Amino acid sequence: MRTAESAQLIDVTGLEVLFGVLHERGYTIVGPTVRDGTVTMAELDSATQLPWGWSADTGPGHYRLRQRADGAGFAHCAGPQSVKNFLHPPRARLWSTDRTADGIIATGPEPPTKRYALVGVHPCDVAALAVLDRVLAHGEHPDPVYTARRDGVLVVTAECTEPGATCFCASMGTGPAATGGYDLALTELVDGGHRFLIRPGSPAGADLLARLPTRPASPVDVAAADTAVERAAVTMPRRMPDGSLPELIAANRESPHWADVASRCLTCGNCTMACPTCFCVSTTDVTDLTGEHTERWRQWDSCFSVDFSYVHGGPVRASGASRYRQWISHKLGTWHEQFGMSGCVGCGRCIAWCPAGIDITREAAALAAPTPAGEPS
């Protein structure tokens, strides 16, 4: 919570000090940076690599970088990658075996060599981390690759003050304000001097904050931060329909709207790759030519691929309509039954990075729209 009692201020130079302290403590810093025409998440050596002076214009199937005059560092919306790429990597070796004179020796996944500090992560992606934690770390069978990489991660969130046109986190309750799951929270202020309101969210964050060159935040600074985040919430152009999304999806299982979506959907799976919470994987076993060494690799998979639901005799979901219905039904509906939460955090990546410009908020709204008979479609 932003209060004059708990909040401090740091200047832009304070972020470089933050990077220095994190490096001194052995963290590998992951944060936003401009690369390949996007603001993407990458390992950073210096705060100078943050996307100072860049934002992005987004829309269905549209993403373009835009320069800004105020030099803001965290005024960008979600880019094509999230921190999922670092904690639940696209490809990972699960185990390997070697035949030796003493028998077969098996080794598990290699332990991570890096401890990450995630800097500049927006609240919607912090919420996505909580979703991945629930699925991959807190279940009956924790994922060894994810838990090893997630353990000891430090999160510095940057509250969203300028949402993109594809954002709808306010209607999902995951942003734009930071409400939990972070060690430090930043709110960037550019009017009246470039500065950051900073507050701790954990003992580790408080310890880190004590090493930074801070000064007390005034009530005016706190009010400015409140206004910036509240303005982001009310100006967010997209939102999910009101009411229970699981009930909406369940009531429309046989809706003709699925065929309409399928006429536009390429079933390329781009939405699932860009989604910060989609976690499905497949496994592949490989061996060398001698048969003495074998490995099992895991790679991201997508419910939009035909083979994803293959059982003997063929795929369960052969049509594009059934595969889109499966994806949105799990994301907005049955995820609640499985994990007690939504699988969508409203980051808008699936909208911006869909080559066909399919918009999950518009498809949900179409399902919620009353038919001439007064029932959902």
pLDDT given for residue 5 in this prediction: 62
Comparing C-alpha atoms, which of 263, 253, 251, 250 is closest to residue 320?
Answer: 263
| One domain, residues 224 and 288 | no
| One domain, residues 72 and 213 | yes
Q: How confident is the model at residue 233 (pLDDT cuts 50, 70, 90)?
A: very high
Let me know if residue 227 belongs to a domain: yes
As a whole-number percent, the residues of the chain with pLDDT over 70 amount to: 96
What range does the domain containing 259 cover? 245-368
pLDDT given for residue 7 in this prediction: 81
Let me know if residue 376 belongs to a domain: no
| One domain, residues 219 and 126 | yes
Q: How confident is the model at residue 104 (pLDDT cuts 50, 70, 90)?
A: very high
Domain finish residue from 200, 235, 270: 235
pLDDT given for residue 2 in this prediction: 65
Taking a C-beta distance cutoff of 8 angstroms, is the pair 53, 72 a contact? Answer: yes
Domain finish residue from 235, 260, 287: 235
| One domain, residues 300 and 258 | yes
Report whether pLDDT(144) > 70: yes
Let me know if residue 375 belongs to a domain: no
| One domain, residues 92 and 215 | yes
pTM of the entire predicted model = 0.93
Listed in order, strand segments (DSSP E) in the chain are 8-11, 27-35, 38-44, 54-59, 62-67, 91-100, 103-107, 115-121, 154-158, 184-189, 195-200, 215-216, 281-287, 293-300, 310-311, 314-315
| One domain, residues 109 and 227 | yes
Mean pLDDT (the chain, rounded) = 94
Let me know if residue 155 belongs to a domain: yes
Q: How confident is the model at residue 4 (pLDDT cuts 50, 70, 90)?
A: low
pLDDT given for residue 42 in this prediction: 97
| One domain, residues 159 and 301 | no
Give the range among 95-99, 110-114, 352-356 with minimum mean pLDDT: 110-114
Question: What would the mean pLDDT of 257-271 be, rounded to a whole number?
Answer: 95
pLDDT given for residue 373 in this prediction: 54
| One domain, residues 231 and 96 | yes
pLDDT given for residue 326 in this prediction: 95
Let me know if residue 65 belongs to a domain: yes
Please give the tally of structural domains in the chain: 2
Q: How confident is the model at residue 110 (pLDDT cuts 50, 70, 90)?
A: confident
Report whether pLDDT(377) > 60: no
- Give CA separation, 303 vs 82, 145, 220, 341, in Å: 19, 21, 49, 20
Distance CA 97, CA 100 (A): 10
Q: Token pair of 143, please?
A: 């994922």
Q: Token pair of 297, please?
A: 């690799």
Comparing C-alpha atoms, which of 59, 63, 41 is closest to residue 50?
Answer: 41
SS3 call for 125: helix
Q: How confident is the model at residue 347 (pLDDT cuts 50, 70, 90)?
A: very high
Let me know if residue 373 belongs to a domain: no
Let me know if residue 240 belongs to a domain: no
At what angle are helices 320-329 and 360-368 packed, to 10 degrees? 90
Burial of residue 234, with CB atoms counted within 10 A of its CB: 0-12 exposed, 13-18 middle, 19 or more buried: exposed
Question: How far does the chain reach from its first CA to its final CA, in angstroms?
Answer: 41
Distance CA 310, CA 45 (A): 44
Report whether pLDDT(375) > 70: no
| One domain, residues 184 and 51 | yes
| One domain, residues 230 and 249 | no
Please write the tens of the pLDDT for every residue from 299-343.
999 999 999 999 988 999 999 999 999 999 999 999 999 899 999
Domain finish residue from 210, 235, 260: 235
| One domain, residues 289 and 144 | no
| One domain, residues 316 and 291 | yes
Let me know if residue 344 belongs to a domain: yes
